[in-house]
Amino acid sequence: MDEPGGYAGPASKSAVVSDDSRAFDVVVVGAGPAGSASALEVARAGYTVALVERGPYPGAKNVYGGVVYGRILDELVPGWWERMPVQRWVTRRATMIMTPTQALTVDMRAQDWGRPPYNGATAYRADLDAWLADQAVAAGAVLIPATVATGLLRGPDGSVAGVRTDRPDGDLTASVVIACDGVNSFLAKEAGMYPAENVAEHTTLGVKETIALPREVIDERFGLSGRDGADIEMIGCTRGIPGGGFLYTNLESVSLGVVVGLTGLAAAKVRPEELIADLKEHPAIAPLVRGGTLQEYSAHLIPEGGYRSMPELVGDGMLVAGDAAAMCLAAGIWLEGVNFALGAGMYAGRAAAAALRSGDTSKSGLAAYRTMLEDSFVLADHRKLRKVPDLVLSQRVQADYPGLLCDLVQGLFTVENPAPKPGLRRLLRLGTRAHGVRRRDLVRDALVGLRSFG
Amino acid sequence: MLVVAAQRWIDPHPRVDAMTGRVDTDARAGGASEADQCALEHALRLAERFGGRCVAVTAGPVAAEEMLRQALAAGADEVLRVDAPPGGDPVLEDGAETARVLAAGLTARYGHVDLVLCGDRSADRGTGSTPAYLAARLGAAQALGLLDVGRDGDGLRALRRLDGGRRESLAVPLPAVCSVEPTAVRLRRASLPATLAARRSEIPHVAVDAAPRGAVAVKAVRTYRPRARVLPAPSGDDARRRTLELTGALVERAPSRVVTPSSPEQAAGELLGFLRAHGYLPEERDD
Ligand SMILES: Cc1cc2nc3c(=O)[nH]c(=O)nc-3n(C[C@H](O)[C@H](O)[C@H](O)COP(=O)(O)OP(=O)(O)OC[C@H]3O[C@@H](n4cnc5c(N)ncnc54)[C@H](O)[C@@H]3O)c2cc1C
């Protein structure tokens, strides 16, 4: 069997190319949402672009819970809602605060979200990624599947000049490389763009089960009809391990999963599938998933550090977008990564095209990328919510507050005749004492929350 | 010299529902089975040995072009997609019809074919009959289920597995149709330049006429589901007895035997003996 010429593994130093000719204007690594959006924009601007994907087809290897917010697609694929492969439109969004025997839910239903221009939709990644990549290919991008980028190529001046792949004769030269290779991007690491920090602290593990149920059963249990769908985010359901849970409805299956901090998970010595098993037995969840057949179990890492754990986004001849740049917004009631990846990819593609137009693909030539991100939701939201990951993953939000809130509301609705109804203030005092919550922390957390979300 | 690798377009990793036997496939994951990939590798090597050209062919829909691109990238000189006659299944279920369509497509495009390599059996249908039908259609010699095949002068030398760990070596004249087991070789990894070139290639295709009337056709393939059998309620008076009765546990049985007869006569003798011992055949009479 032919071995790829001079394999350059993740840790090996970048190979140097001397020749000035470039096979493509841009090479995009990874055909996830970020990569396909980049390739689409570059191809539309009239430049040649290769989209390198390690899976046999886009979406083959990608995992996610299932809700994608398509607003950014208005700009990228006008009229997307008529063509995107959607399972259901999310018209019901609930946040559930849980203890092992209690659940307090804020449940929002908006029929506006079920008609154009829509809000969120559940979709399968294999469908979604393949569709997005098709848009890029139709615009002229060259998709290279079943091919792994194993390292960077550099020009004599040290600027990035392409990628090496695991195929024989596998060097792919380009003026700009856009790294969209997902969480733990070794391309960004090889380029020296990640600060040398403990990555595990900023990474969470997402595990999910896809559970098949007949469409009518899902409609009935979740109170849905037609293409309407539900999205439930949960907090306080992970045995105190920092994280949260989710339950999304597809057409004929539901996705049930948890997202937990790596360090917390390791310290608790719990297997992630036990947490899903817990959820399936929880009195608030069990009736929703009962009788379903397990279709798939999958696990994937999520960059959850937010703004403060992002790498440098621009280098000489290189841009980083999506999960590769830790752009997943995983802040409590939000778990949004696909829309951020789409947005960042789109801007990266535009910045690369602008740099090619001006003939300067150095760091300064590509600097517009960062400006575009800052002027848009991509970095604005991340900056605004930068303190949220720490807050959401704190012991108080994970365990103390859910217990406190559930007890408070339970107390409010428990009828203790002949004793008179307790006042809210008394319940709060009892609750804070029972759950060891200090007023000081409560006020401080409320302020962080207000500043971030307000 | 034209060496053809015939590949069937399937989902190599379908999902099977254990309860109903329903098979779910995904067209995006479609490609060649292991055996068909080995067939291509053998075809590439033989084309090199004979100084000929290698063509990869499939009878399948447009979606199967992805598989042919992979064959081009791996080194096939040409590819050909044969459209199944309209109205039927785009990927034919029937070995005889697949062979007819392939032979018609190949003959229409190339006139004469010297050698066709196939996988020993398709991963989905699994009868292994296509290559045999194809040999008949092309008027070629056939050697099926081979472990290995190489050039020997103007013809081929092939190796086939026999019972008892033995091998038979075959001399195969050309033209021939050979099918290979998914062993011995692996399809080479395509280089990046060849992969890129294949992405941009036009995939030629030919259409063939519908089957002449009167031929036997496979209409549908279903999983075998035996009819439910009604059993009398177990009569034991405690739960343990009833369970034993239902499961047949702890009942003495003759353990099954694995036999490896060394000659056809002996094999026939074993079978006849078994049938007699179980009352399916009358006892042997001494006359
Ligand atoms: C359990 C879970 C649930 C989630 N739920 C949601 C949700 O409900 N909504 C939401 O918006 N987001 C959700 N996310 C986050 C979302 O999945 C990601 O933020 C998003 O997929 C990021 O897109 P991306 O294009 O940056 O990276 P990815 O989708 O990870 O794509 C990276 C691509 O690069 C390829 N690749 C990687 N390395 C190489 C290489 N060396 N060479 C070639 N190709 C390579 C991979 O195969 C992959 O196709 C969830 C994540 C998880 C794990």
Which of B65, B186, B192 is the best mutation test for A, with the most CBs of A within 10 A?
B192
pLDDT digits (tens, 9 = 90+) for B7-36: 999 988 888 877 777 778 888 889 999 999
> Which of A1, A56, A142 lies nearest to residue B199, judging by beta carbons?
A142
Report the C-alpha gap between A162 and A178 in whole angstroms: 9
Cβ atoms < 10 Å from Cβ of B129 = 17
Q: Do the Cβ atoms of A167 and B192 come within 8 Å?
A: yes
> Measured between alpha carbons, how far is A335 from A110 in angstroms, rounded to an integer?
19
The closest CB to that of B191, out of A60, A126, A167, belongs to A167
Q: How many separate helices (H) and strands (E) can be counted in chain B?
A: 7, 11
Second CATH level (architecture) for the domain A11-62+124-196+309-385: 3-Layer(bba) Sandwich (3.50)
CB atoms within 10 A of CB B15: 12
Give the pair of three-digit tokens for residue A217.
């059963």
A140 to chain B: nearest residue by CA? Answer: B200
CA of A302 to the centre of ligand 1 (A): 8
Pairwise CA distance, residues A366 & A353, whole Å: 9
What is the rounded distance in angstroms from the CA atom of residue B50 to the CA atom of residue B39? 16
Q: ipTM value of the model?
A: 0.86
In this predicted model, what pLDDT tens digit does every residue of B234-287 receive, in sequence order?
888 999 999 998 888 888 888 888 888 889 999 999 999 999 998 899 887 765
- CA B167 to CA A125: how far, in whole Å? 48
Q: Encode B49-64: b = buried (16+ Cβ within 10 Å), e = exposed.
A: ebebebbbbbbbbeeb
Contact assessment for residue A31 and residue A147, using Cβ atoms and an 8 Å cutoff: no
* Structure-block tokens of residue B236: 């034991």
Instruction: Give pLDDT tens digits for B188-197.
Output: 999 999 999 9
- Residue A61 has, within 13 A of its CA and on its CB side, a CA count of 16
Place of tokens 């997943």: A328
Task: Specify the pTM.
Answer: 0.88
For residue B167, the SS3 value is strand
CA distance A141 to A138: 7
In A, residues 135-154, which contact B (CB 8 Å cutoff)?
142-144, 147
Question: Cα–Cα distances in Å, from B162 out to B128, B147, B168, B182?
Answer: 17, 11, 7, 16
Closest-CA residue of B relative to A163 is B192
Q: What are the tokens at B212?
A: 């002449």
Contact at CB, A126 and B189, closer than 8 angstroms: no
**CA–CA separation, A175 vs A169, rounded Å?**
19
Show residues of chain A in contact with B193, CB under 8 Å: 169
Cβ-contact B77, B99 below 8 angstroms:
no
Q: What is the pLDDT of residue B94?
A: 85
Give domain limits for chain A.
11-62+124-196+309-385, 394-453
Whether residue A366 contacts residue A351, with contact meaning beta carbons closer than 8 Å, is answered with yes
Atom from ligand 1 closest to the CA of residue A33: 25
Return the sign of the alpha-carbon dihedral for residues A418, A421, A425, A430. Answer: positive
Name the residue among A286, A284, A288 with its Cα closest to residue A220.
Answer: A288
**Residue A76 vs residues A70, A73, A328, A350: alpha-carbon distances, Å:** 10, 5, 19, 11
Residue B257 phi/psi, 5° resolution?
-115, 145
- Chain centroid offset of residue B100 CA: 16
Question: Quick check: A142 and B192 CB within 8 A?
Answer: no
Nearest alpha carbon to residue A349 among A117, A213, A103, A180: A180
Quick check: A2 and B192 CB within 8 A? Answer: no
Q: Dig out the tokens for A352 from the structure.
A: 């690369």
Q: How far is CA A132 from CA A111, A127, B27, B243, in A?
A: 27, 9, 17, 56
pLDDT attached to residue A387: 86
Chain A (211-270) residues lying within 8 Å, Cβ to Cβ, of chain B: none
- Out of A122, A328, A334, give the residue to mutate to test ligand 1, the one with the largest number of ligand atoms within 8 Å of its CB: A328
Contacts of A351 (CB under 8 A, 6+ apart): A319, A366, A368, A369, A372
Dihedral, CA of residue A17, residue A21, residue A26 and residue A31, to nearest 10 = -60
Which string of b and e fits A111-130 if b means at least 16 CB within 10 Å?
A: eebbeeebbbbbbbbbebbb
Q: Is B199 on the interface with A (CB under 8 A)?
A: yes
Q: pLDDT value at position B67?
A: 96
Give me A447's structure tokens. 């302020």
What is the model's pLDDT at position A333?
Answer: 67
Element spanning A343, H or E: helix A338-358
Name the residue facing B28 among A126, A165, A169 (closest C-beta): A126
Q: Which two tokens stand for residue B165?
A: 């760990």
Contact between A144 and B191 using a beta-carbon 8 Å cutoff? no
For A318, the token pair is 């290189």
B101 within 8 A of B67, measured Cβ to Cβ: no
Task: Please list every protein residue whose CB sits less than 6 Å from any atom of ligand 1.
Answer: A 29-35, 52-55, 61-68, 148-149, 180-182, 206, 208, 257, 300, 302, 322-324, 328, 335-339, 341
Would you state the structure tokens that stand for residue A319, as one six-digit string? 């841009």
Residues (pLDDT < 70) of chain A are: 1-13, 62-65, 196-199, 331-333
Q: How far apart are CA A310 and CA A8, in angstroms?
A: 25
| The predicted structure's pLDDT at residue B213 | 73
Cβ atoms of B28 and B19 within 8 Å: the answer is no
Kindly indicate whether the domain formed by B2-207 is annotated with CATH number 3.40.50.300: no
Output the DSSP codes for A323-342: GGGT--EEETTEEE-HHHHH
Contact B26 A126 (CB under 8 A): yes
pLDDT confidence of residue B271: 93
Decide if pLDDT at B53 tops 50: yes
CB A215 within 8 A of CB A252: yes
Q: Pick A57's closest partner by Cβ from B29, B189, B193.
A: B29
**pLDDT tens for each residue of A10-54:** 444 688 888 788 999 999 999 999 999 999 999 999 999 999 999
CA-based nearest distance A167→chain B, Å: 5
Determine how many CB atoms are found less than 10 A away from the CB of residue A63.
Answer: 19
In terms of CA atoms, which chain B residue is nearest residue A148? B192
Whole-angstrom distance between the N-terminal and C-terminal Cα of chain A? Answer: 60
Mutate to test the pocket of ligand 1, among A249, A338, A373, A378 (most ligand atoms within 8 A of CB): A338
3-state secondary structure of B204: coil
Within the 112-171 window of chain B, which residues sit less than 8 Å (CB to CB) from chain A? none
Which residues of chain B lie closer than 8 angstroms to A31, CB-CB?
Answer: none
What's residue B12's pLDDT?
84
- Residue ranges of domains in chain B: 2-207
Using a CB-CB cut-off of 8 Å, the residues of chain A touching B189 are: 1-2, 4, 167-168
Q: How far is B41 from chain A (nearest CA, A)?
A: 11
- The whole-angstrom separation of Cα A331 and Cα A308 is 13
